Amino acid sequence: MPRKDVPPKASATESMEKALTDAAKKKYVLRLYVTGMTRRSQEAIRNVEKICRERLHGNCDLEVIDIYQQPNLAKGDQIIAVPTLIKKVPLPLRRLIGDLSKEERVLMGLDLKAVPFKKKDEEEDERTLDSI
């Protein structure tokens, strides 16, 4: 029986890149909790809007909620600190709490970027820097 042409298997890198591209095409539903119009709240809003525009190409419904104006929504989503970004869709649900100025951290939290592999000594160096 003649062998049919079988396409070559994609490498792990190619598979990951395809998954990330597919993820960027999905519709994201995000909820950002802030406290009023403080500098930190405005920064969080700008950063998340930029990610929605540049990385999700507009495939994003972003709802910004001021916990002073809508405390019941904050209570319903069990918000304990702000700013908090909740990714409701696509699943799994994710929560990013605190500083949203680090784009890499937000992208990893939204599953838009693979978690970088770190060697053990690099992790220790990072912990040391964080504690300074």
Cα–Cα distance for residue pair 29/60, rounded to 1 Å: 6
Band of residue 110 on the pLDDT scale cut at 50, 70, 90: confident
Give burial (CB, 10 Å; 0-12/13-18/19+) of 23. middle
Is the confidence at residue 132, as pLDDT, over 90? no
pLDDT recorded at residue 11 = 72
Distance between the two ends of the chain, CA-based, in angstroms? 68
Band of residue 5 on the pLDDT scale cut at 50, 70, 90: low
Instruction: Confirm whether pTM is higher than 0.75.
Output: no
- More confident call, 112 vs 48: 48
Instruction: Supply the CATH classification number for the domain 14-131.
Output: 3.40.30.10
b/e map 78-113, b = 16+ CB within 10 Å: ebeebbbbbbeeeeeeebbeeebeebeebebbbbbb
Cα–Cα distance for residue pair 132/128, rounded to 1 Å: 7
> Of 4-8, 45-49, 55-59, 109-113, which range is least confident?
4-8
Cα–Cα distance for residue pair 122/1, rounded to 1 Å: 54
pLDDT recorded at residue 111 = 86
